[in-house]
Structure 1
């Protein structure tokens, strides 16, 4: 208590020097506090990104295995090499979910391009949102009604479709599309029980299944939830497969509407996500007979803990169901990496800033405190000659500096709260500068029914990860303040110790002799 009283008296008596020390400590404290808060915000943002964009792995047919390909005769076209590997089914999705813990959901998908119509045969008015990336292809594919086709994604659970799971799409109204066969984890068999589970398969009104469409597309065509539309193959597709357009007409009921939260791009504007539709395998197979036999293109699994994705994917790869070279398990972290990279750079930048601030603060504090110790050397010599110990005197200096530091740290909290978000956004902008765009590549041409068309990768709309997903929200909480006080008081203690080394080495007689 006596040390605190003496420290307060000295601080008040030397107000000029005290204010100088206070300002130095305030600058160091504000810089450190802001850095700690920004690092914490960056860590929280990275965790959120891993949860939204990471934590996913896929099972696909192994198309690189030559044994999975065969030659098939196509009427009127001769022989063509087609994929003949083991198909991906809803049953496989269910078995993996049952045998491996830590998976919160999955969605098996297949993609086709179909023409959407009203029930009286009028083609829906599509939206040209400028997302097409290849004008030449758009012109080439616009022949007949092929230019009216849209991307149709047949899946088992639209909630876990990659576009919805990653937050690029949100359900604006209605319900998701869930295949009853996948919900039960059983093989699709077209039974009436499955039809009654909620997809409308085999209903009396002729509706084959449910569909999700974009809210903008619905608004343009005056559609709403509960309305029925028709999906069919393009004329050229129907002719090449030896069927008629009428035979491919598939009535579906609109059960939900979705909105986009990020910008998408596609090879042509009619294949953009604005015009895309989500349905089930029953619908796709009714429009393009044989799709169910070929199976899904891939199945995506979403894990509960993103940090365990690689481990869970390895356990899935080791399952007996995936042996024999029929399937390949992969983990795609491209989107998460693209958004997280600036945050990782920011973390390194802020860490360097904090270390630099602490180092510079220590040097300046040592110089300032050393000057104060030198000015009080005579006082120290008198105290030593009166029997006071060196540690007691040094402790007095430490209490004086600590009292000023506590005030400086307290003042830095509101200042840090005011400038923290601004500094964080500025540093994040610097981190993003120079990073290239997150472009993608489109696939080649492939065939599953004897006609060479754009493959699913080529026609699939793709999203550019929204930079806002990597934004940070700087908040100064109790742990950040505690970290500031811990680092700050440690810095003050080290600085006082270094500046007092002269006092610790000299004897009282030498000090008084030098001063006289």
Structure 2
């Protein structure tokens, strides 16, 4: 009788053992497939999360002209921003401008009577910041401001503004009305700039009013970049630029690429990478990925150990049969191949059944 027939009859004779082996490896194969499925799902979810959340890199130049702490803080040139955008590593850029304005017939800064008496000239000054990304503005990030009426500035807005409720009350201005920011940098070509009020914010806590009125938190006006540029005149530099990166894992490469450009701002440039949301969410996915890998490793190790134990038990329990076959002239290789085949048949059937 050849080895194949002998193996078949041996399987039939030991069908209970073969069935047990089939069930064990069916469970192991199911665990392996579940691990691979979980691992694939985690990788897809991580990729989708990267594209959905993304990251931002904010570029600042903290060098400031001492004579002007506002427009003088704008030290990043438009040419540098254009070179960075030309790299193709970011999909959008939100510029941020500092500016200054004066009161006009339609917009008056908030000041206490004591402040107006102590600082008569400064009581007419208004701080201005130009952006369409107010969620990144310092006062909104820290919670000092919250929207009261209307909305924040949007990318599609032009010559629009968000002012404080105190300034609106002081000036008798309502949502949707047009007001004029008086030109402060007229020597540099700055002009009076009309803007439409699209939002009104309120302070979350009462603040002291001991310094010059333009330091009052109530006297900060957010405008769109076009309005800030008109106020600044020939000073077309910006304070910061916030670049959006589709893949958070590429944020470090973006910083290295910008540094390699050797921009005129040189070592004064500072980079702030914001990928906190991605890191927080990816931590959960990383945990599931580690669990899937552990499941695969444990299933593979358990399967290998089980197979080795089965072979050893077969060799030990069938010593007499092996001796008889050797005495009849069967080759040792054929005998071991038969025993291995008897073990592999239920294992392969289990794997096929799991798939």
Deviation at 1:391, TM superposition (A): 2.0
> Which of 222, 237, 242 matches 1:299?
242
- The structure-2 alpha-carbon separation of the partners of 1:314 and 1:330, relative to structure 1 and needing over 3 Å to count, comes to farther
The CA distance in 2 between the partners of 1:97 and 1:284, in whole Å, is: 21
- Mapped pair 1:70 → 2:66: yes
- Mapped pair 1:50 → 2:38: no
- The structure-2 alpha-carbon separation of the partners of 1:4 and 1:313, relative to structure 1 and needing over 3 Å to count, comes to farther
Q: Is the 8 A contact 2:95 2:240 kept in 1?
A: yes
> Which of 70, 74, 95 matches 2:83?
95
The CA distance in 2 between the partners of 1:336 and 1:107, in whole Å, is: 19
Q: 1:407 aligns to what?
A: 349
Q: 2:93 aligns to what?
A: 107
> Which of 233, 247, 250 matches 2:180?
247
Deviation at 1:381, TM superposition (A): 0.9
Q: Is the 8 A contact 1:313 1:329 kept in 2?
A: yes
Q: 1:29 aligns to what?
A: 29
Find the residue that maps to 2:8 and give its secondary structure.
helix
Give unpaired runs (5+ residues) of structure 1.
73-80, 113-136, 156-176, 178-198, 200-207, 210-229, 254-265, 269-277, 414-516
- The structure-2 alpha-carbon separation of the partners of 1:94 and 1:82, relative to structure 1 and needing over 3 Å to count, comes to closer
- The structure-2 alpha-carbon separation of the partners of 1:60 and 1:83, relative to structure 1 and needing over 3 Å to count, comes to farther
Find the residue that maps to 2:153 and give its secondary structure.
strand
Deviation at 1:372, TM superposition (A): 2.8
The CA distance in 1 between the partners of 2:164 and 2:296, in whole Å, is: 62
Q: What is the TM-score with the length of structure 2 in the denominator?
A: 0.62
The CA distance in 2 between the partners of 1:152 and 1:89, in whole Å, is: 23
> Which of 278, 281, 284 matches 1:342?
284
Q: Is the 8 A contact 1:68 1:83 kept in 2?
A: no
Find the residue that maps to 1:152 and give its secondary structure.
coil
Alignment coverage as a number of residue pairs: 275
Q: 1:367 aligns to what?
A: 309
- The structure-2 alpha-carbon separation of the partners of 1:290 and 1:6, relative to structure 1 and needing over 3 Å to count, comes to farther
Q: What is the TM-score with the length of structure 1 in the denominator?
A: 0.45
Give unpaired runs (5+ residues) of structure 2.
99-141, 182-193, 205-221
- Deviation track 1:438-488 (CA, whole Å, cap 9, x = no partner) reads xxxxxxxxxxxxxxxxxxxxxxxxxxxxxxxxxxxxxxxxxxxxxxxxxxx
Deviation at 1:318, TM superposition (A): 2.8
The CA distance in 2 between the partners of 1:32 and 1:21, in whole Å, is: 16
> Which of 203, 225, 230 matches 1:281?
225
Deviation at 1:252, TM superposition (A): 9.6
Give 1:3-14 correspondences, 5 Å limit: 3-14=3-14
Deviation at 1:111, TM superposition (A): 8.8
Q: Is the 8 A contact 2:22 2:347 kept in 1?
A: yes
- The structure-2 alpha-carbon separation of the partners of 1:326 and 1:399, relative to structure 1 and needing over 3 Å to count, comes to same
The CA distance in 2 between the partners of 1:252 and 1:8, in whole Å, is: 88
Deviation at 1:9, TM superposition (A): 3.1
- The structure-2 alpha-carbon separation of the partners of 1:237 and 1:59, relative to structure 1 and needing over 3 Å to count, comes to same
The CA distance in 1 between the partners of 2:24 and 2:282, in whole Å, is: 35
- The structure-2 alpha-carbon separation of the partners of 1:376 and 1:352, relative to structure 1 and needing over 3 Å to count, comes to same
Q: Which has the larger radius of gyration?
A: 2
Deviation at 1:389, TM superposition (A): 2.2
Q: Is the 8 A contact 2:64 2:73 kept in 1?
A: yes
